[in-house]
Amino acid sequence: MNPYAWNLTDLESATKNGLRCMSTFSCGGGSSMGYKRAGYDVVLANDIDPEMAWHYKKNLHPKHYVLCPIKDLAPRLPVEVFGIDLLDGSPPCSSFSMAGDREKSWGKHKHFKEGQAVQVLDDLFFDFIDLAEVIRPRAIIAENVLGLMKGNAKGYLTLIFERLREIGYRPQMFKLDASRCGVPQKRERVFVCAQRDDQPARALTITADIPLVSARAATSDLVLTDDEVDETRPTQAGILTYWPLTLPGKSYAAARERAGEKSMYWGHFRLNGDAPAPTLMTQDTQYAHWSEHRHLSFREWKRLGSFPDDYQARGSHHVGKYLIGMSVPPKMAEVVGAAVRDQWLLAPRVGRAPTRMRRIATVNSP
């Protein structure tokens, strides 16, 4: 069996640590699967999107699932989540992404795909913190895009840290790459981890130094079925023309430029099989196989996202690939969750915790 393959049933055999987690903005369950792999019991999940809810419940069978905007969540929570060990969340991050409108979209109400709801996306991180103030988890993990650390977005980050301190938490920030967490995908993300003030004060260290996994190694045992041959057949004229002219790991734009043509298809890549894939996007047709003139199958996409082989998607395979592109890779969440577990939540209590610690530690992955 491929050592990089795993199944949802493996979560049942994970060593339990007695810690309980609650997940918000839970999407299809990427972070929840990571915490389950690290031994947590994920007792409640929340999202605004019915499609995400269907996938989460179908695959992870949560004890509690609440479908609603995060601002409406607190009054609907069961008593057992108050004072829970870990609160997880990945507030929608397109406002802070280095792609797209970025600053132009800040503070504006947007009609966005998740749940077809109108919200101010850059307010959602603060709604998440407001929820933390109500339920008072022992620790918090919030994931976001790397753009949160750059340019004018650093002002938002300062406000996030100030708000966390205000409600009684000690925040730290980590920049991590999924490819150093055992995921065959280069995906850089920011994790804000915060410890409640009444817990023993310890600086958190997250070590992400797992050897790189190539796209080829992760998918080497997969053979296309007849259905997948149809699913992965390229139809766009650009892909049909430029894949043979594109070097592995490069975009089709480079092939056009070499041919003296106008730069186009800069977001379309022929993957390098000997390296981790680039960040999986929500548009699965942007990536093509390294040695075969085709798109990637859903099974291959799951491997590159470190999702389990038996994860089920409803309807078109594009739905499943979109969902994985939106999700925290499970093995990345596992690395972060294990560090918080061992250094904060299960560490022996020694002495008395100070009421407040204001130092912020920034840790970068290798």
Per-residue pLDDT, 300: 98
Per-residue pLDDT, 285: 87
Whether residue 78 is found in the same domain as residue 162: yes
Task: Indicate whether 153 pLDDT > 80.
Answer: no
Q: pLDDT tens digits for 215-247?
A: 999 999 999 999 999 989 988 877 788 899 999
Whether residue 254 is found in the same domain as residue 353: no
Whether residue 229 is found in the same domain as residue 173: no
Task: Indicate whether 357 pLDDT > 60.
Answer: no
- pLDDT above 70 covers a percentage of the chain that reads 86
Average pLDDT over residues 278-282: 92
Per-residue pLDDT, 282: 87
Per-residue pLDDT, 362: 42
Evaluate whether residue 120 is within a structural domain. yes
Range of the domain at 32: 8-211+329-364
The structural domain count of the chain equals: 2
Whether residue 73 is found in the same domain as residue 219: no
Whether residue 158 is found in the same domain as residue 112: yes
Whether residue 255 is found in the same domain as residue 132: no
Evaluate whether residue 334 is within a structural domain. yes
Whether residue 168 is found in the same domain as residue 230: no
Whether residue 122 is found in the same domain as residue 260: no
Q: Which pTM was predicted? A: 0.89
Q: The CATH number of the domain where 202 resides is what?
A: 3.40.50.150
| HEC string for the chain | CCCCCCCHHHHHHCCCCCCEEEEECCCCCHHHHHHHHCCCEEEEEEECCHHHHHHHHHHHCCCEEEECCHHHCHHHCCHHHCCCCEEEECCCCCCCCCCCCHHHHCCCEEEECHHHEEEEHHHHHHHHHHHHHHHCCCEEEEEEEHHHHCCCHHHHHHHHHHHHHHCCEEEEEEEEEHHHCCCCECCEEEEEEEEECCCCCCCCCCCCCCCCCCHHHHHCCCCCCHHHHHHHCCCCHHHHHHHHHCCCCCEHHHHHHHCCCCCCCCCCEECCCCCCECCCCCCHHHEECCCCCCECCHHHHHHHCCCCCCCCCCCCHHHHHHHHHHCCCHHHHHHHHHHHHHHHHCCCCCCCCCCCCCCCCEEECC
Evaluate whether residue 3 is within a structural domain. no
Q: pLDDT tens digits for 181-196?
A: 999 999 999 999 999 9
Whether residue 189 is found in the same domain as residue 128: yes
Whether residue 146 is found in the same domain as residue 101: yes
Per-residue pLDDT, 234: 87
Whether residue 284 is found in the same domain as residue 342: no
In angstroms, the CA 281 to CA 296 distance is: 12
Q: The CATH number of the domain where 280 resides is what?
A: 3.90.120
Whether residue 146 is found in the same domain as residue 26: yes
Q: pLDDT tens digits for 304-329?
A: 999 999 999 998 889 999 999 999 99
